[in-house]
Amino acid sequence: MKFTINRNLFLDNLNNVMRAISSRATIPILSGIKVDLSNDEMVLTGSDTDISIEIKIPVSEDLTVESTGSIVLPARFFNEIVKKLPGKDLLFEVKEGMQTQISSENSEFTINGLDANNYPRLPEIDSETAFDISGKTFREIINETNFAVSTQESRPILTGVHFVFNSDKIKAVATDSHRLSQRTITLENGPQVETDLIIPGKSLVELSRIIGEQDPQVHVNPGENQVLFVIGNVSFYSRLLEGTYPDTDRLLPTTSSTQAEFDKSDLSQALDRVSLLTHAGRNNVVKLTLDTESGIAKLEGDSPEIGNVEERPMVKSLTGDKLEISFNPDYLKAALTASITDTVVINFTEPLRPFTVVPGKDDVEFIQLITPVRTY
């Protein structure tokens, strides 16, 4: 196998494949990147069994092929070598004994490869239920829910986001049992058959990065225990979580006894300042007092070793019963970060019942739930 390729082109694609490489690969060959070269294209493949990424680079003036073949190269070293080599173009040549020579200008590396025939095959997924979605829309819904997935493996089903795709909308929900984030967005050409997927949060982080800031078309191809996303020349495979996701709709309160509307930025900054002290204490808890008679909201936090803090964020409107409630400030800060409107409405029922955070606009279907903390 011998070819020449533009270094920047190769590095951009190599970096995306690296997203599927784990430093703790249980199968030794998966610590490498598979390189397949034909007369028409180069195919780069990386996998950690949970995520697999395949990228196709067509032959062009940036990629010229002298001889075809396949090899698996050690991913970490290979990536670092390509990053540090000088020159515009790189020359690769696989010689006897799976030794691969990589050269550019006055630099030359020789690294040992592995037989590509031993690399696991990627799953074949039937395309009958495939559909397309805007990359911007999909990345948006990932960012608005994925932060709430559980990091505890004791309930594996909660480490993923539950997606339901219909012909006219996409609904996603994530919860770690302490907080919940549910977002619904209208679709123009969703699947004709309702599609239900539970995708691991770690997979969605990498998928979101590959989608990037642009608005590429994302081709979604659901399988039995895998889902394939195609973005341009990138094929992204993720395993699906097996099991039934909890019925989270029943957790969402339908009434409230106290309602407060805040400027998102003002409340977030107040929480940042209060958290300076609460993070120093053993219990990261703030107390929110809402006085509906005076229209004043008060945030309080303390650390026995350092002192205490009081903030009075501006309230745009405050109605209902007077309330005192305690909660983890990091949960509310994360909810505010995910919110997409300048104002948020927080609905409370009781001091020990979960409260909801919703946008300050009625036409945005986005609800977040936070469980309070018992302080006595």
Residue 255 has pLDDT above 80, yes or no: yes
For the segment 186-227, what is each residue's pLDDT rounded down to a tens digit? 988 788 888 999 999 999 999 999 999 888 999 999 998 999
Residue 34 has pLDDT above 70, yes or no: yes
Q: Cα(176)–Cα(340) distance, rounded to whole angstroms?
A: 21
Q: Quick one: pLDDT at residue 33?
A: 97
Q: Cα(99)–Cα(215) distance, rounded to whole angstroms?
A: 40
**Is residue 244 domain-shared with residue 257, that is, in the same domain?**
no
Q: Cα(360)–Cα(345) distance, rounded to whole angstroms?
A: 6
Strands, sheet with 195-200, edge to edge from the N-terminal-most edge strand = 195-200, 160-165, 169-175, 179-186, 365-370, 355-359, 343-348, 258-263, 315-320
Asked if residues 345 and 263 have their Cβ atoms less than 8 Å apart, the reply is no
Residue in this structure with the two tokens 């990138």, named with its chain if needed: 234
| pLDDT, the chain, mean | 94
**Is residue 179 domain-shared with residue 89, that is, in the same domain?**
no
Q: Cα(254)–Cα(281) distance, rounded to whole angstroms?
A: 35
Q: Answer whether residue 125 is part of any domain.
A: no
Q: Quick one: pLDDT at residue 296?
A: 95
Residue in this structure with the two tokens 């395309």, named with its chain if needed: 127
Q: Could you tell me the pLDDT band of residue 103, with boundaries at 50, 70 and 90?
A: very high
**Is residue 106 domain-shared with residue 142, that is, in the same domain?**
no
For the segment 275-292, what is each residue's pLDDT rounded down to a tens digit? 999 888 778 999 999 999
Q: Cα(248)–Cα(182) distance, rounded to whole angstroms?
A: 9
**Is residue 216 domain-shared with residue 272, that is, in the same domain?**
no
Q: What is the largest CA-CA distance in the chain?
A: 83
Residue 298 has pLDDT above 90, yes or no: yes
Q: Which domain holds residue 177?
A: 131-248
For the segment 167-192, what is each residue's pLDDT rounded down to a tens digit? 899 999 999 999 999 999 998 878 88
**Is residue 144 domain-shared with residue 192, that is, in the same domain?**
yes
Total structural domains in the chain? 3
For residue 371, which of 178, 231, 212, 165 has the smallest C-alpha distance? 178
Q: Cα(17)–Cα(234) distance, rounded to whole angstroms?
A: 9
Q: Answer whether residue 206 is part of any domain.
A: yes
Q: Answer whether residue 43 is part of any domain.
A: yes
Residue 13 amino acid letter: N
For the segment 117-150, what is each residue's pLDDT rounded down to a tens digit? 999 999 888 878 899 999 999 999 999 999 999 9
> Per this entry, what is the length of the chain?
376
Q: Answer whether residue 23 is part of any domain.
A: yes
**Is residue 306 domain-shared with residue 335, that is, in the same domain?**
yes
For residue 260, which of 321, 333, 300, 318 has the smallest C-alpha distance? 318
Q: Cα(260)–Cα(323) distance, rounded to whole angstroms?
A: 11
Q: Cα(96)–Cα(348) distance, rounded to whole angstroms?
A: 70
User: If you write DSSP's letter for every residue of 137-155 in order, what string do you get?
Assistant: HHHHHHHTTGGGS---TTS
Q: Cα(313)–Cα(26) distance, rounded to whole angstroms?
A: 50
**Is residue 354 domain-shared with residue 322, that is, in the same domain?**
yes
Q: Quick one: pLDDT at residue 376?
A: 65
Q: Quick one: pLDDT at residue 78?
A: 94
**Is residue 297 domain-shared with residue 338, that is, in the same domain?**
yes
State how far Cα 71 lies from the chain centre.
31
Straight-line distance from the first to the last Cα atom of the chain, in angstroms, rounded to the nearest whole number = 70
For residue 318, which of 237, 245, 275, 262 has the smallest C-alpha distance? 262
Q: Answer whether residue 14 is part of any domain.
A: yes
Residue in this structure with the two tokens 């690399």, named with its chain if needed: 119
**Is residue 195 domain-shared with residue 241, that is, in the same domain?**
yes
**Is residue 144 domain-shared with residue 202, that is, in the same domain?**
yes
Q: Cα(93)–Cα(95) distance, rounded to whole angstroms?
A: 6
Asked if residues 225 and 239 have their Cβ atoms less than 8 Å apart, the reply is yes
**Is residue 241 domain-shared with residue 257, that is, in the same domain?**
no
Q: Answer whether residue 207 is part of any domain.
A: yes
Q: Could you tell me the pLDDT band of residue 257, with boundaries at 50, 70 and 90?
A: very high
Pick the last residue of a domain from 65, 86, 118. 118
Q: Answer whether residue 126 is part of any domain.
A: no
Containing 345, the helix (H) or strand (E) segment is strand 343-348
How many H helices and E strands in the chain?
6, 26
**Is residue 52 domain-shared with residue 151, that is, in the same domain?**
no
pTM exceeds 0.95, yes or no: no
CATH number at residue 304: 3.10.150.10
Q: Answer whether residue 276 is part of any domain.
A: yes
Q: Could you tell me the pLDDT band of residue 97, with boundaries at 50, 70 and 90?
A: confident
Cα separation values, 159 from 202, 242, 317, Å: 8, 11, 36
